[in-house]
Amino acid sequence: MRIRAAVLEEFGSPLVVQDVDLAEPRAGEVLVRLVACGVCHTDLYTASGADPSGYSPTVLGHEGAGVVERVGDRVESVAPGDHVVTLFSPQCRECIHCRDPRTNLCLAIREQQNRGYLPDGTTRLSRDGEPIRHFMGTSTFAEYAVLPEIALAKVHPEAPLDRACLFACGLSTGLGAVINTARVEAGTTCVVFGAGMVGLGAVAGCRLQGAERIVCVDLSEERLELARGQGATEVLLGGPEAVERILELTGGFGADYTFEATGNVAVMRQAVESARMGWGLATMCGVAGKGETLDIVPRYLITGRRVAGSSFGGVKGRDGVPQLVERWLAGEIDVEPFVSHTLTLDEVNRGFELMEQQAGIRSVIRFAD
Ligand SMILES: NC(=O)c1ccc[n+]([C@@H]2O[C@H](COP(=O)([O-])OP(=O)(O)OC[C@H]3O[C@@H](n4cnc5c(N)ncnc54)[C@H](O)[C@@H]3O)[C@@H](O)[C@H]2O)c1
Ligand SMILES: [Zn+2]
Ligand SMILES: [Zn+2]
C-alpha cells in the first residue's frame, strides 16, 4: 500500500514528508493504522546526525499509538480493531531476559532492530523498489506501520490514543524508573533532576509510590511549575550548587532516592552526590552524548550509595504499558499537561523546532481519521 510518511533523507536536514510503499505484514507482524505519535528527543538526535548508530533513509518516529488493521500468520496476541501502543523496547516473553524479573531488555530482535530491519532481516518500507529502513523497530511518523507483534502493547479501548502515545516512551520511562528500577518506598525523600517528559513522569511515579518529599530540580521555572502539578513538594533551580541545596534540605544527609532525567553527565554526578549516605540510590535515565563518562568519587559508593540505570523505566512493555494506561484512566496520572502542541504529519519539522525551543513538553502528531 501507499502511505504518507516522514523520511529522514539526509542527516541535519528537515524530514521530507512523502508517499512511500508499505508491504503487507509477514508472519509474526502486524499492520497498525497510526492515530497519534509523539515527537521525542531521540528522533531529533538521529535526524541531526549526532547518533553514531543512525542510518538513512529511514522513517522516524517511535511514540506511536493506533489501531490494528491486519495481522500476519501466527499472530495471536492482537487482532484487527485492537488499540495498541508501539514498543521500541519489545517483550517476547520467551528470551532469558524476558523470563527474568530483573530486566526488560528483551533479546529477541535486538540486532536486526538496531540495524533498521524487521526480525527477518528485511524491510516492509520501500520507495521505487529501494528499501527504507525501520527506525527503532517502529517508524511511526507514518499513516501506517508494520511492526513485530512483540513490539505492541494492547491497551484499554477507551484510552484516547492521542494521549496514550506518551506511554510509548518518555512517560513510561520516568514512571517506570521509580516504580520498577528504584522501587521507591512510601514515606521516603526523592529528588528528580530534570522536568522534561521523563523527569515529570518520575515525579508522578514518586507520588504514586507514596514518597513523602519530592524535590524536582530544573533550569526552567515554567517546567518546575509543571512538576508541582505532578506532585513535587519542593522545587529547586538547577546549577552547580544543587547538591549543596539538597543536602541543606535533608539535614546534611541527602535523599533516599535520586533520579537523573537530563542526559547531562555533570547532573548525573549531582544525582549520585545528593543520594543519601548509607542507602541512597541514584537512578540514571538520561542518554549521555557519545564518549561521555560519569565521574564518581568512589568514596560515595563505599559509604553506601548505589547507582542504577534504567532503560524504558525497566518496563516490560506488553505487560507494563497497559497497566500504566489503566492507572491513567483510573485518574492516578494526569497526562493532559504534557501535551502542548498538536500537529499534522506535514508539520513534523515544526515539532523538532518546538523541542529545540523547549516550548512545552510534547508535541503530538495527530493523523487524519
Ligand atoms: N532511559 C530511557 O529509556 C530514555 C527514554 C527516553 C528518554 N531518555 C533520555 O532522558 C533524558 C530526558 O528526556 P526528556 O524527554 O525528559 O528531555 P527534556 O530535554 O525535555 O528534559 C530535560 C530537562 O533537563 C533540564 N536540565 C538541563 N540541565 C539541567 C541541570 N543542570 N539541572 C537540572 N535540570 C537540567 C532541562 O531544563 C529540561 O527540562 C534525555 O537524555 C533522553 O534522551 C531516556
Ligand atoms: Zn522517545
Ligand atoms: Zn524477550
- The CA distance from 187 to 357, in Å, is 37
**Can you tell me which atom of ligand 1 is nearest the CA of 201?**
16
- 157, 185 Cβ separation under 8 angstroms: no
In angstroms, what is the C-alpha Rg of the chain?
20
134 alpha carbon – ligand 2 mean position (Å): 15
Q: Which residues surround ligand 3, an ion (CB under 5 A)?
A: 92, 95, 98, 106, 108
Q: Cite the active site residues.
A: 40-42, 62-63, 92, 95, 98, 106, 110, 169, 362
Contact present, 61 and 4 (Cβ < 8 Å): no
CA 194 to ligand 1 centroid distance, Å? 6
| CATH class (in words) of the domain with range 2-168+335-366 | alpha beta
Digit-coded pLDDT (tens) for 253-299:
999 999 999 999 999 999 999 999 999 999 999 999 888 999 999 99
Mean pLDDT of 182-192: 98
Average pLDDT for 169-198: 98
Ligand 1, closest atom to CA 197? 16
Which ligand places an atom closest to the C-alpha of 63?
2
What is the structure's pLDDT at 228? 98
Residue 85 predicted with pLDDT over 80:
yes
- What value does the mean pLDDT of the chain take? 97
Q: Residue 14: pLDDT above 90?
A: yes
β-bridge partners, 217 = 193, 236
98 residue type, one letter: C
Residue 345 has which C-alpha cell?
Answer: 504529519
Mutate-to-test residue for ligand 1 from 191, 197, 246, 262, highest number of ligand atoms within 8 A of CB: 262
Is residue 332 pLDDT above 80, yes or no?
A: yes
CATH number for 173-311: choose from 3.40.50.12640, 2.60.40.1190, 3.30.40.10, 3.40.50.720: 3.40.50.720
pLDDT at 69: 98
Q: Where in the chain is the domain with CATH 3.90.180.10?
A: 2-168+335-366
pLDDT per residue over 15-26, tens digit each?
A: 999 999 999 999
pLDDT at residue number 53: 87
Mean pLDDT (whole number) for 138-155: 98
Whether residue 104 has its Cβ less than 6 Å from ligand 1 = no
Task: Inform me whether the pLDDT recorded for 126 exceeds 80.
Answer: yes
Per-residue pLDDT of 214-264, as tens digits, reads: 999 999 999 999 999 999 999 999 999 999 999 999 999 999 999 999 999
Which ligand sits closest to the CA of 316? Answer: 3
Distance CA 16, CA 6 (A): 5
Quote the ligand 3 centre to 136 CA distance (angstroms).
16
Query: Global pTM?
Result: 0.97
- Could you give phi then psi for residue 348, rounded to 5 degrees? -55, -40
Per DSSP, the residues of 92-143 read -S-STTTTSTT-----TTHHHHHHT--TTS--SEEETTEE-EEGGGT--SBS
Separation of 198 CA from ligand 2 center, angstroms?
9
Q: What count of residues does the chain have? A: 369
In Å, what is the CA distance from 79 to each residue of 61, 158, 260? Answer: 23, 16, 38
What pLDDT shows up at residue 293? 96
> Nearest ligand to the C-alpha of residue 223?
1
Atom of ligand 1 nearest to the CA of 219: 37
Torsional sign, CA 49, 51, 57, 62: negative
For the chain, residues classed under CATH 3.40.50.720 are 173-311
Write the residue with the smallest CA distance to atom 32 of ligand 1: 238
